[in-house]
Amino acid sequence: MDLTLSPEQHAVRKAVREWVDDVVVPPALRNDREERFPQEALDGLRQTGFIGMSIPEEFGGGGADPLSYVLLIEELGRGDANVRSLVSVHLGLVSGSIDRWGTQEQKEQWLPRMATGEVLGCFALTEPDFGSNPADLQASAVKQADGSYLLNGTKIFITNGSIAGVALVMARTGGPGAKGVSAFLVPTDTPGFEARRIHGKLGLRSCDTAELVLRDVRVGPETLLGGVEGKGIRVALTALNDGRMSLGASCTGLAQAALDTMVAYTTQRTQFGKPIAGHQLVQELIADTAVEVDCARLLTWRVADLKTRGEDYALAASKAKYYASEASVRAANACVQAHGGYGYIDEYPAGKYLRDARVTTLYEGTSQIQKLIIGRALTGISAF
């Protein structure tokens, strides 16, 4: 499905694909088994410049267009969702927000170092008691007499939380609800900022996921994103439009990997005297997955296309994220099924696909939230 790719976009996909097959795929299963952070992939992302691919060229990034970014994320998602999550949070949620909302000083302070990967970003929105409804979040940022802010609160399930150099923290500066929340660019070496890595996850085991505890973290007024209070939820939800596009791409990649793995296995494995791919019900697993991969990809590329043309892509991003995440779980499950008992042991990648896919219907807006967003857009009636 090369329908809308320019020669440059083809080249991006080829370069990322080859690098992923070379560097990301080989250690992925071992990293998963050992909960080992994919350091060689991070080093390679820095060397290749992929880590800054969508950051504007004026700040040292690759200046990639939205579809090239989607291709990067799709290929990373195909190789290892752990590596993808590192990149999509860093670029899609954090550097994208700085570029969209930041002052010139904030862009100059953070984007060049994010473009090289010297500084990684994390996105601190979710709290133990506030996930689907971030407008009620409780972390506080109390303005002091000297103009600084004192931040207190807990954030949870934060990708890159213990390796990031800058955290985009949403905290309450004013009254209740969305209008009372502001966004801050907090250097993670600020005293009082603590990250605790979360272990025992079902999937994404080698990715850095942390709980952040902020105790009297004092930051200057220059850390307020865009220099304006009260925009935090809008900043977060706008970032999540890009996050949902990223997840559409990542899940397309993971489903593609499940499909490729399924085809390779079922054409080799024989039962009843022929490859199991020769049995009709196995072909059904393959065919259903192949159609879903195409659907997920087309929905996601449409988001990138809308973004490129400067149109509103929030609704399209919700649709892509909803469909692709659910499809990736089905694809991975089909891959396990096609492998029989071998799908259930971690010498084969099928089980990892399923565990890594499973979180994608949960974070950056559950499938239920995406359906309510889509339903609201169609009916004009909010269920929230």
Catalytic residues: 364
Pick the closer one to ligand TGC by CB: 110 or 265.
110
User: What share of residues in the chain are helix, strand, coil (percent, to 5)?
Assistant: 60, 15, 25
Establish if 363 lies at the interface with ligand TGC (CB under 6 A): yes
Which of 157, 301, 322, 323 is in the footprint of ligand TGC by CB under 6 A?
A: 157
Cα separations (Å) of 251 from 81, 124, 211, 304, 368? 8, 22, 25, 15, 17
Pick the closer one to ligand TGC by CB: 44 or 92.
92
Number of residues near ligand TGC (by CB under 6 A): 28
Which of 31, 68, 126, 252 is in the footprint of ligand TGC by CB under 6 A?
A: 126
As a whole number of angstroms, the distance between CA 278 and CA 273 comes to: 10
Segment lying near ligand TGC (by CB under 6 A), choices 189-197, 229-237, 326-334, 336-344: 229-237
Establish if 367 lies at the interface with ligand TGC (CB under 6 A): no
Establish if 373 lies at the interface with ligand TGC (CB under 6 A): yes
Which of 97, 241, 250, 360 is in the footprint of ligand TGC by CB under 6 A?
A: 241
Helices (H), 174-231: none
Q: How far is the CB of 181 from ligand TGC (least distance, A)?
A: 9
Establish if 225 lies at the interface with ligand TGC (CB under 6 A): no
Residue with tokens 């992923």: 20
Pick the closer one to ligand TGC by CB: 63 or 187.
187
158: Cβ–Cβ under 8 A, 6 or more apart, which residues?
122, 123, 124, 126, 167, 195, 209, 210, 211, 212
Give the amino acid at 90: H
Pick the closer one to ligand TGC by CB: 163 or 282.
163
Which of 64, 83, 158, 225 is in the footprint of ligand TGC by CB under 6 A?
A: 158
Which of 178, 263, 295, 374 is in the footprint of ligand TGC by CB under 6 A?
A: 178
Establish if 159 lies at the interface with ligand TGC (CB under 6 A): yes
Among 380, 275, 249, CA closest to 338: 275
Establish if 137 lies at the interface with ligand TGC (CB under 6 A): no
Which residues are bridge partners to 184 per DSSP?
A: 169, 224
As a whole number of angstroms, the distance between CA 144 and CA 218 comes to: 9
Detail the DSSP E strand segments found in 266-305. Answer: 270-271, 274-275
Segment lying near ligand TGC (by CB under 6 A), choices 153-161, 221-229, 263-271, 302-310: 153-161
To the nearest 10°, the Cα dihedral for 359, 361, 363, 364?
140
Pick the closer one to ligand TGC by CB: 286 or 373.
373
Among 217, 212, 83, 238, CA closest to 141: 217
Which of 15, 25, 135, 298 is in the footprint of ligand TGC by CB under 6 A?
A: 135
215: Cβ–Cβ under 8 A, 6 or more apart, which residues?
152, 192, 194
Give the amino acid at 191: P
Cβ(169)–Cβ(183) below 8 Å:
yes
Establish if 143 lies at the interface with ligand TGC (CB under 6 A): no
Pick the closer one to ligand TGC by CB: 131 or 221.
131
Which of 39, 132, 138, 271 is in the footprint of ligand TGC by CB under 6 A?
A: 132
Q: Mark residues 83-122: x for contact with ligand TGC by CB under 6 A, - for none.
A: --x---x---x-----------------------------
Q: What is the DSSP letter of 144?
A: P
Tell me which residues touch ligand TGC (CB under 6 A). 85, 89, 93, 123, 125-126, 131-135, 157-159, 178, 233-234, 237-238, 240-241, 314, 363-365, 369, 373, 384
